[in-house]
Structure 1
């Protein structure tokens, strides 16, 4: 439902001063710091560079020197570098030619790391600045970068490994770095609400997904396997309603919610928790009604049927499997326009309640004599009531100083509201948005009156 496919193209930070055209991909372009040891380790190369520089000065008519002082400074720096290199390997106060080398001589450049003047010895020239080797440090681990290659993000250098640890996404299922695709880019899937990132392969390798929150099962966590093939994460299991008796207090809560809206349900409609197979069979036996795909989790029945209901909750056995669940047949007889409300067992209280609030609205309209409505209007106003109930639960939790619900329950409630709000189906999604807009503009009672007389939402 609404999965996102994303291409990760690396850090959003801009590269410093436009010096590097850097992108994160399978074959990242790396930056190479130059050192006095690496770049000018050969004294003959330095002599040649000085000679060329001096000869260029004497060539007239070929080049225009824009800044003679800069040229002079560069020549001085080159000579100083040669003397510095010679000094490293020479006896104190002497060089190869027996000339005295001033130990206090400095090239006059300031280290970009410590802001101290660069003296004799090795140094790095990179990122448009000069550095002591020990001052050129990784922005992540703060250790000197001794490798020839390094990565950059914004104005900060990183060890290649540190950059990967900080910016290369890991899969939330297998905990490995998400691999690159054929184009050399990092491609992953992401849940639109939970922001769970995972490798595309996990959509096809039989990785379980929670039937409630829809998160993929991490390989270091074991979901509970229900008897009807569904999986339930451990957080959703904490508040899951597993049998019909356990659901009765919630059923009374929903009825009171409707009474608070001046919409009392006069008939005592049976509420049954069922397995997936029983719900699908009941759905096939129902002659009318629109069902949410790919899976229906609740049903308001108006036909006489025999339903297998969950009488005793299962226990969680070896391998996190639900075991020893007890069911019994329940004969439904038609005494009014509604024979029963069926809800999938094993869903958290908030999800079970929102489904029940939705199905209760179907029952209320049938018992109140509403005409046959178009699917988008009927399902849309039912989704509005489910959304209103979830919002009432959030407000109630805040009023009770958040003592009765866990942080995950609050997040789960927001997720179920998000599911209703972002549903892309023409019937449930567009129907909810049209119905919710009408209720916000005219109020619930005026909207219901308009639906009763016209069969449409007021605009």
Structure 2
């Protein structure tokens, strides 16, 4: 799609200068990066004149395509969470502990990060957190309604989290589409799995990298039902996904899923991007179980 291309003014050299999104190929004037034009917090596309975005109330905006499948409250998230736990079980990575999953606002997530003692590596815009400390977290109890280009009527509740094991809860930012919410959940659940299985003192590259691999694998299973990444799932007895249970993923949602896969694969950060590529290479070569065993023994990926 083309954004404002016919209205882009020429520069000093008399040429039209525009930027282009690497995945969506959306063209836009460079000035829109700094003039408060809304950018979807999920898919990164800029708001155009014929497609107004919805303000989430915390500085984030959501396009209507992402809003269509947005997960808005803690209750909304439970079926997705259970489907991802089933996915883990299908990978022979069953999690017996009942870890609470809470959908939260941006401020509550940031406050929880501050309360974590070992939260030493997070992305600039953190969208999920695997908690290990006891905290009181404000969770979203009732989904907001859509008013005039903004959400209204949200009901929140301060929930006291009790530490019963090495993982207290998983927090996920509210208002993101189902596939992105699920990808974040799959990532954070892997942090939980590693802690519960006794993996300690891993470098950011190793821990975030292997967590991104699980996120990527779940997305692949959702976007391409029937797709089996055999080297990655060589130890899996079955790989169930929520999309196979609820029917086919829509074309719009499938394209979003492909974008989220692209984001993981081409992330430029050392921990999340470099870590993912190293972890993925190891999993493709040796399988997930052998890679995890090697990480347990050495704290590094097999080469």
Q: TM-score, normalised by structure 1?
A: 0.61
Equivalent residue, structure 2, for 1:285: 115
* 1:422-433 alignment, distance < 5 Å: 422-433=266-277
* CA distance, structure 1, for counterparts of residue 107 and residue 226 of structure 2: 34
Q: Is residue 2:288 matched to residue 1:458?
A: no
Q: 1:196 Cα deviation (Å)? A: 0.3
Q: How does 1:197-276 map to 2 (within 5 A)?
A: 197-276=27-106
Query: Separation in 1 of the partners of 2:167 and 2:203?
Result: 19
8 Å CA contact 1:397, 1:403 repeated in 2: no
Say how many residue pairs are matched: 287
Residues 48-197 of structure 1 correspond to what in structure 2 (within 5 A)? Answer: 172-197=2-27
1:434 alignment counterpart:
278
Aligned-partner Cα distance in 1 for 2:119–2:90: 27
Distance 1:291 1:236 in 2: 27
Aligned to 2:259: 415
Give the aligned partner of residue 359 of structure 1.
Answer: 188
Q: Equivalent residues in 2 for 1:306-455 (5 A)?
A: 306-317=136-147, 319-396=148-225, 404-455=248-299
Stretches (4+) displaced over 6 A: 397-400
- Judge conservation of contact 2:222–2:249 (CA < 8 Å) in 1: no
Distance 1:449 1:403, change over 3 A: closer
- Assess if the C-alpha contact under 8 Å between 1:172 and 1:198 holds in 2: yes
Distance 2:98 2:67 in 1: 29
Q: Distance in 2 between matches of 1:428 and 1:202?
A: 28
- Rounded Cα–Cα distance in structure 1 between residues aligned with 2:54 and 2:226: 28
Q: Distance in 2 between matches of 1:284 and 1:277?
A: 11
How far apart are residue 331 of structure 1 and its match?
A: 0.3
Cα distance between partner residues in 2 of 1:260 and 1:440:
18
- Distance of 2:116 and 2:252 partners within structure 1: 36
The Cα of 1:372 is off from its aligned counterpart by: 1.4
Give the secondary structure class of the aligned counterpart of 1:208: coil
CA RMSD of superposed structures (Å)? 1.7
- Contact kept in structure 2, 1:178 and 1:198, CA below 8 Å: yes
Q: Measure, in 2, the Cα distance between the counterparts of 1:291 and 1:222.
A: 34
- Tell me the equivalent position of 1:102: none
Change (3 A) 1:295 1:259: same
Q: Comparing both chains, which one has the higher relative contact order based on Cα–Cα distances under 8 Å and sequence gaps of 6 or more?
A: 2
Q: Work out whether residues 274 and 310 of structure 1, in 8 Å CA contact, stay in contact via their aligned partners in 2.
A: yes
Determine helix, strand or coil for the equivalent of 1:236.
helix
Secondary structure of the residue aligned to 1:334 is coil
Alignment check: 8 A CA contact 1:355 1:386 kept: yes
Structure 2 gaps of 5+ residues are 228-242
Which structure's CA Rg is the greater one? 1
Q: List gaps (5 residues or longer) in structure 1.
A: 1-170
